[in-house]
Amino acid sequence: MLSNKNIILGVCGSIAAYKSATLVRLLIKAGANVKVILTADASNFITPLTLATLSKNPVYTQYFEAETGVWSNHVELGLWADYMIIAPASANTIGKMANGLCDNLLTAVYLSAKCPVYFAPAMDLDMWKHESTQQNISQLKNFGNTIIAPNSGELASGLVGEGRLAEPEEIVSFLIADIKSGMPLLGKRVLVTAGPTYEAIDPVRFIGNHSSGKMGFAIADEMLTLGADVTLITGPTAEKSANKLNRVDVVSAQDMLDACNAYFDNSDIMVMSAAVADYTPIEVAPQKIKKNDSDFSIDLKKTTDILASLGKQKKSGQILVGFALETENEEHYAKEKLKKKNLDLIVLNSLNDKGSGFKTPTNKITIFNSDMVKTSFETKLKTDVAKDICAEILKLTTK
């Protein structure tokens, strides 16, 4: 759940700051990228060197390092983060956050952050119970921040009661559970196909196409972000996913058909974005074909139409999405394919549109649903196009 997520950990002046070392280790172990910001008082309890060593990143303590001339850009740090955790969050810092005070790097990054913010208070019992502290906490909640409530126990003062920082394991578990709760496709199994297929002519040559797989990989990654359990069946491609998914590599159209059939029945959503060959050689030469003649021909046969085959197998409740790459009469062919192959959505892109098609970082799409309702989008990066496609699929899951 935290794999490759960027997390800023803010550490405030509290004896509980020693727990931040364990927290960093747990976040790193979960696959996150962690950057730590210490307040000036926090450095009295735990050293930047300790946290830099554990996080494998420099630790930030102030806006400007006079000795090195390095400026810590609070805006860039805020934009970098997928999540921000302030643990321990002292009464002082909670007050500053609640009232928009910005006299240190941590609060400046907080005010710049666009991501979800979690704060785990740590303070003595009387400070925790004070009305001003509780009002500040209520204000932070109203701002949309999420509290990781403190535990009860023996405190540094010797008092016993609320105010003890949640244990690092509890903080990580809370974070993961909260992320999961906001994932609309949690528990759904999604099958995505991507890339081209290669149809062998001989041991050296093949028939293929220009598909890079970028669109399919972007969709698979977005589905993971939405909480789905994703299987990606991909033809030959140099594309990689930074996320942990079930990747199945195939070569030919028959390979892809076999893999799709293996996963189809247990899938809730199927997005068929691969560019599968329509024809394959009837016979594959066992040895490299020599170029002896000036003319050369190959007898071809049709491959199985994977999308149509899955459309016939589709059960009630399953969602099947197809793609149509056209060069003429685009909308007519797309709608015909949608109906003929029993699809729930079809994503149309035209090679006539600039910035659309194979091997480009961008795409321009039009989506039709089973009621033939048309939704058009502007040219966007394929990662953003994937978000649009998944958003249309989400509409079907809520019907």
Tokens of 181: 């709760």
Q: Which residues pair with 65 in a beta bridge?
A: 70
- Coil/strand/helix, residue 397: helix
Phi first, then psi, for residue 95 (nearest 5°) are: -65, -40
Helix (H) or strand (E) holding 263: helix 253-264
Contacts of 240 (CB under 8 A, 6+ apart): 217
- Burial group, residue 15, by CB count within 10 angstroms (0-12, 13-18, 19+): middle
Report the distance separating Cα 6 and Cα 155, nearest Å.
32
Report the distance separating Cα 125 and Cα 51, nearest Å.
28
Report the distance separating Cα 20 and Cα 91, nearest Å.
17
Tokens of 16: 């509980």
- Coil/strand/helix, residue 162: strand
Closest CA to 106 of 181, 39, 194, 31: 39
Report the distance separating Cα 296 and Cα 174, nearest Å.
65
Q: Judge whether 9 and 87 are in contact, CB under 8 Å.
A: yes
Report the distance separating Cα 205 and Cα 191, nearest Å.
30
Closest CA to 59 of 87, 24, 29: 24
Phi first, then psi, for residue 16 (nearest 5°) are: -70, -5
Query: CB atoms < 10 A from the CB of 173, how many?
Result: 14
Among the listed residues 6, 57, 92, 209, the single catalytic one is 209
Does 261 qualify as catalytic in the annotation?
no
Active-site residues, by number, are: 209
